[in-house]
């Protein structure tokens, strides 16, 4: 099969590399020449564990290539995936589909024969209809089917998620397109990953509903964590206690500083905007968005509270800045709101993150960036664990206490046991325990 991936960002690159690893012939396209140049030189534009080796192997095998020339890549492709960004539109929170429609028009100009166009980008319900409309208008001479095929990749675990998915969702009523998509995913469903054929609008909604449900689960346990703190219960035990019920499930019940990243904040917002537009508001999702926004700021206040409600002139060491470990992604990271509230309260912030500091420096110039956890903690009044990178899980607490001025630890990811931290002389607070 010949697969063309339009957009070599996170989703496009991971999907393209994985498809080529299954033996398909894949061309990844991007407008950004510097990105394509970097990929030619073997440099990854994003940090994702295992991606560099996967790309290297498949480039060497001649199955994976990169180009800025969309027209050449599209001509003769069996399937053309649109994997461009759909950021939140400034002002109203709707998904911005500019890049999707631009790509569609360029595909229309370039197709040479029967092609299946697949939206991999997360797009609001009805986008597939519009993409189809554009293609039919511009190229009434060519047989083009439009399919929705959302991704469910977690950053940091994207390759595993792609190769061993819980399910593959394909939205189309077109028989020929189904057959092409079956061939595209054959290596996966031979591995027994369920493949779900549904209508295109249903498929588009499945993606939003999945992310909104997961965001709801996290937000629910975060509120229960606050209640645990108030009544003297332990949220980790509550999570276990409810999660062992198969109807609830164990995953996504870790209380923390609120969800962030490139998907949940943008997708929850886009879903509730769509729902409003159709006159069927999703009140639960509205509440989730509000509670989560509020929570990020509340976590800054929690750290200030641990400093006896006075952060003025004090120094806080922030460990972890990315929205979660194993990524360099700073988009909507809780650290952004947390650091801002510390700075607003007059504190000095010293921070360390294993992968996110380049992006963080541009977003938070008023922070002192350090080369490691102990350096960040040196002279600090408090240390806050904001992202649960493995490297923060087994800190030498004695050494940490020695380099710090104060002995306060705020563990927003519940990485430590209260006893261990107390033994090292720290005043310790965590989430929901
Ligand atoms: C998510 C979805 O999981 C994925 O299927 C979708 O395609 C893209 O969005 P991702 O954003 O990479 O993936 O990260 P994920 O691991 O889902 O975490 C999202 C956020 O929720 C992070 O900020 C994380 O720290 C937080 N989270 C997750 C919790 O606070 N508690 C949990 O139990 C799980």
Same domain for 117 and 94?
yes
What residue has token string 């969702």?
169
Same domain for 211 and 148?
no
Same domain for 127 and 273?
no
Domain boundary among 137, 170, 198: 198
Same domain for 129 and 216?
no
Atom 28 (ligand 1) nearest CA: 252
Range of the domain at 265: 201-433
Same domain for 295 and 374?
yes
Distance 148 CA to ligand 1 centre (A): 22
Distance 259 CA to ligand 1 centre (A): 7
Residues in Cβ contact with 11 at an 8 Å cutoff, skipping those fewer than 6 apart: 83, 120, 121, 151, 153
Going by C-alpha positions, the residue among 333, 387, 389, 386 that lies closest to residue 359 is 333
Instruction: Report the nearest atom of ligand 1 relative to the CA of 153.
Output: 7
**Residues enclosing ligand 1, CB less than 6 A?**
151-155, 211, 214, 218, 252-254, 256, 259-261, 263-264, 323-324
Residues in the annotated binding site for NAD(+)? 30, 35, 86, 122, 155, 266, 331
Same domain for 274 and 185?
no
- This model of the complex carries an ipTM of 0.96
Domain boundary among 198, 229, 249: 198
Spell out the per-residue pLDDT of the chain, length 433, in tens: 999 999 999 999 999 999 999 999 999 999 999 999 999 999 999 999 999 999 999 999 999 999 999 999 999 999 999 999 998 888 888 889 999 999 999 999 999 999 999 999 999 999 999 999 999 999 999 999 999 999 999 999 999 999 999 999 999 999 999 999 999 999 887 778 899 999 999 999 999 999 999 999 999 999 999 999 999 999 999 999 999 999 999 999 999 999 999 999 999 999 999 999 999 999 999 999 999 999 999 999 999 999 999 999 999 999 999 999 999 999 999 999 999 999 999 999 999 999 999 999 999 999 999 999 999 999 999 999 999 999 999 999 999 999 999 999 999 999 999 999 999 999 999 999 9
Same domain for 164 and 227?
no
For position 192, what pLDDT does the model report? Answer: 81
For position 191, what pLDDT does the model report? Answer: 72
Same domain for 218 and 243?
yes
Grouping H, G, I as helix, E, B as strand and the rest as coil, residue 384 is strand
Atom 19 (ligand 1) nearest CA: 259
For position 187, what pLDDT does the model report? Answer: 86
Same domain for 18 and 63?
yes
Query: What is the strand order of the sheet 427-430 is part of?
Result: 368-369, 348-352, 315-319, 382-385, 408-411, 427-430
Same domain for 170 and 210?
no
For position 215, what pLDDT does the model report? Answer: 98
What residue has token string 């077109």?
174
Q: Which of 271, 321, 324 maximizes ligand 1 atoms within 8 Å of its Cβ, making it the mutation to test the pocket?
A: 324
Distance 154 CA to ligand 1 centre (A): 7
Element (H, E) at 98: helix 98-110
CATH of the domain at 424: 3.40.50.720
Residues in the annotated binding site for substrate? 152-155, 207, 252-256, 260, 324
Instruction: Report the nearest atom of ligand 1 relative to the CA of 122.
Output: 7
Q: Which two tokens stand for residue 156?
A: 């940091």
Instruction: Report the nearest atom of ligand 1 relative to the CA of 210.
Output: 5
For position 189, what pLDDT does the model report? Answer: 73
pTM, whole model, 2 decimals? 0.94
Same domain for 190 and 211?
no
Distance 248 CA to ligand 1 centre (A): 17
Q: Reply yes or no on whether 263 is catalytic.
A: yes
For position 117, what pLDDT does the model report? Answer: 98
Distance CA 24, CA 115 (A): 16
Atom 32 (ligand 1) nearest CA: 252
For position 224, what pLDDT does the model report? Answer: 98
Q: What is the dihedral of CA 219, 225, 228, 234, to 10 degrees?
A: 130
Domain boundary among 136, 165, 198: 198
Instruction: Report the nearest atom of ligand 1 relative to the CA of 251.
Output: 33
For position 195, what pLDDT does the model report? Answer: 93
Same domain for 248 and 375?
yes
Distance CA 201, CA 184 (A): 21
CB-side neighbour CA atoms (13 Å) of 118: 28
Distance CA 292, CA 217 (A): 11
- Per the structure, the count of domains in the chain is 2
């Amino acid at each position: 099969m010949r697969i063309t991936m339009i957009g070599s960002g996170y989703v496009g690159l991971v999907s393209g590399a994985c498809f080529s690893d299954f033996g398909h012939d894949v061309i990844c396209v991007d407008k950004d020449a510097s990105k394509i140049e970097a990929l030619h030189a073997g440099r990854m534009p994003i940090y994702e564990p295992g991606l560099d080796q996967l790309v290297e192997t498949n480039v060497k095998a001649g199955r994976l290539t990169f180009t800025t020339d969309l027209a050449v890549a599209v001509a003769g492709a069996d399937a053309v995936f649109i994997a461009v960004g759909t950021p939140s539109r400034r002002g109203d929170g709707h998904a911005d589909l500019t890049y999707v429609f631009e790509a569609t028009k360029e595909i229309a100009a370039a197709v040479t024969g029967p092609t299946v166009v697949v939206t991999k980008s997360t797009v609001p319900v009805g986008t597939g209809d519009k993409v189809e409309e554009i293609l039919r208008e511009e190229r009434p001479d060519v047989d083009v089917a439009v399919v929705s095929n959302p991704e469910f990749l977690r950053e940091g675990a994207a390759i595993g998620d792609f190769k061993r998915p819980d399910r593959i969702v394909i939205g189309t009523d077109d028989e020929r397109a189904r057959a092409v998509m079956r061939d595209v995913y054959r290596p996966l469903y031979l591995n027994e990953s369920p493949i779900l054929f549904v209508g295109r609008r249903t498929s588009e909604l499945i993606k939003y509903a999945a992310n909104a449900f997961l965001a709801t689960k996290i937000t629910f346990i975060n509120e229960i964590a606050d209640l645990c703190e108030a009544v003297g219960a332990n949220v980790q035990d509550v999570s276990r206690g409810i999660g062992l019920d198969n109807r609830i499930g164990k995953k996504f019940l870790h209380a923390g500083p609120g969800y962030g990243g490139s998907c949940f904040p943008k997708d929850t917002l886009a879903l509730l905007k769509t729902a409003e537009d159709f006159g069927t508001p999703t009140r639960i999702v509205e509440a989730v968005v509000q509670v989560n926004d509020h929570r990020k700021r509340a976590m800054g206040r929690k750290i200030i509270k641990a400093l006896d409600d006075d952060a003025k002139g004090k120094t806080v060491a922030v460990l972890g800045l990315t929205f979660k470990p194993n990524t360099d992604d700073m988009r909507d990271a809780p650290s952004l709101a947390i650091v801002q509230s510390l700075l607003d309260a007059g504190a000095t912030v010293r921070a360390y993150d294993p992968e996110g500091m380049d992006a963080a420096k541009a977003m938070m110039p008023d922070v002192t960036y350090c080369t490691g956890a102990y350096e960040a903690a040196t002279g600090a009044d408090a240390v806050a664990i904001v992202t649960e990178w493995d490297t923060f899980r087994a800190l030498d607490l004695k050494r940490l206490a020695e380099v710090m001025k104060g002995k306060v630890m705020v563990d927003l990811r519940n990485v430590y046991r209260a006893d261990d931290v107390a033994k090292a002389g720290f005043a310790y607070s965590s989430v929901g325990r």
